[in-house]
């Protein structure tokens, strides 16, 4: 699917949801604790791993129609220190996503489901000392799709448990002063995401969510005829406060 066409379609969907019968608008913000792993594997030379713990901030905005269709935009970003150099150097990572989907009921007990389709991009900067000649920058973007299930506890009065799975078709670009090519690209990488959450309704409008998220992607770069694998893994545990208008 053409990315520009997908983004245009999501923009049209956002405008349509914003001007039609809205069931609600929800804003959210939170903080998470995460770990990021970046592994480069070269045939005959083994692998090199860079790890970092970091604390991202998260923001989100959702528009929902009465019929369950919704558009959601989210951002997360934060920094830390990575162990790819001694002493450790600065690390930053951010993600941006725009998706459209639908919520639907599966039973009278309140169990529900959802599906979504959208666009996601991410950027990672691994700083190196000035003597190394510059920093490594890895960026990725692509189409994501997935779905989830929600299960009420005590008819929802004690909260909800959610689980979701997703897949992404991503393109990656790697820039490093240690590689002669100024920018290396990897196309059509398939990755997966998993999420588990618990939401407690503080009030009819205010909710607190604790969640675990995991993302894993494997990119293949062709460097002068040699296939170099890059594995990207990201895990976070977070708390998010949401307000329904």
Q: Where are the domains of the chain?
A: 3-244
Is residue 179 over pLDDT 80?
no
The CATH classification number of 3-244 equals: 2.40.128.100
pTM for the model stands at 0.85
**How does the average pLDDT of the chain come out, rounded?**
86
Q: How many CB atoms lie within 10 A of CB 130?
A: 7
Element containing residue 229 per DSSP (H, E): strand 226-244
Is residue 5 over pLDDT 70?
no
Comparison of pLDDT for 217 and 179, the residue scoring more: 217
Q: Which of 13-22, 120-129, 217-226 is predicted least confidently?
A: 13-22
Phi then psi dihedrals of residue 66, to 5 deg: -60, -30
CA distances from 21 to 18, 62, 65, 68, 69 (A): 8, 14, 6, 11, 11
Phi then psi dihedrals of residue 18, to 5 deg: -70, -25
Q: What is the mean pLDDT of residues 106-115?
A: 88
Quick one: pLDDT at residue 1? 43
Q: What is the mean pLDDT of residues 185-201?
A: 91
Percent of the chain with pLDDT over 90: 53
Quick one: pLDDT at residue 212? 97
Q: What is the mean pLDDT of residues 95-117?
A: 91
């Amino acid at each position: 699917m053409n990315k520009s066409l997908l983004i245009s379609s999501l923009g049209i969907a956002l405008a349509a949801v914003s001007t039609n019968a809205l069931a609600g608008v929800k804003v959210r913000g939170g903080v998470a604790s995460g770990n990021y792993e970046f592994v480069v594997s070269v045939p005959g030379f083994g692998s090199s791993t860079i790890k970092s713990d970091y604390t991202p901030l998260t923001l989100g905005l959702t528009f929902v129609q009465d019929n369950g269709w919704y558009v959601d935009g989210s951002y997360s970003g934060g920094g830390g220190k990575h162990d790819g150099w001694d002493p450790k150097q600065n690390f930053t990572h951010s993600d941006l996503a725009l998706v459209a989907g639908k919520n639907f009921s599966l039973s009278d007990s309140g169990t529900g489901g959802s599906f979504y389709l959208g666009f996601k991009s991410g950027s990672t900067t691994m700083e190196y000392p000035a003597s190394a000649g510059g920093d490594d920058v890895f960026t990725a973007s692509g189409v994501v799709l997935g779905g989830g299930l929600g299960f009420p506890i005590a008819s929802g009065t004690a909260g909800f448990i959610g689980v979701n799975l997703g897949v992404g078709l991503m393109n990656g670009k790697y820039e490093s002063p240690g590689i002669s090519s100024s920018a290396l690209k990897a196309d059509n990488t398939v990755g997966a995401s998993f999420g588990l959450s618990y939401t407690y309704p503080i009030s009819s409008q205010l909710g607190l969510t604790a969640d675990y998220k995991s993302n894993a992607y494997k990119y293949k770069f062709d460097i002068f005829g040699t296939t170099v694998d890059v594995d990207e893994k990201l895990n976070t545990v977070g708390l998010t406060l949401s307000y329904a208008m």
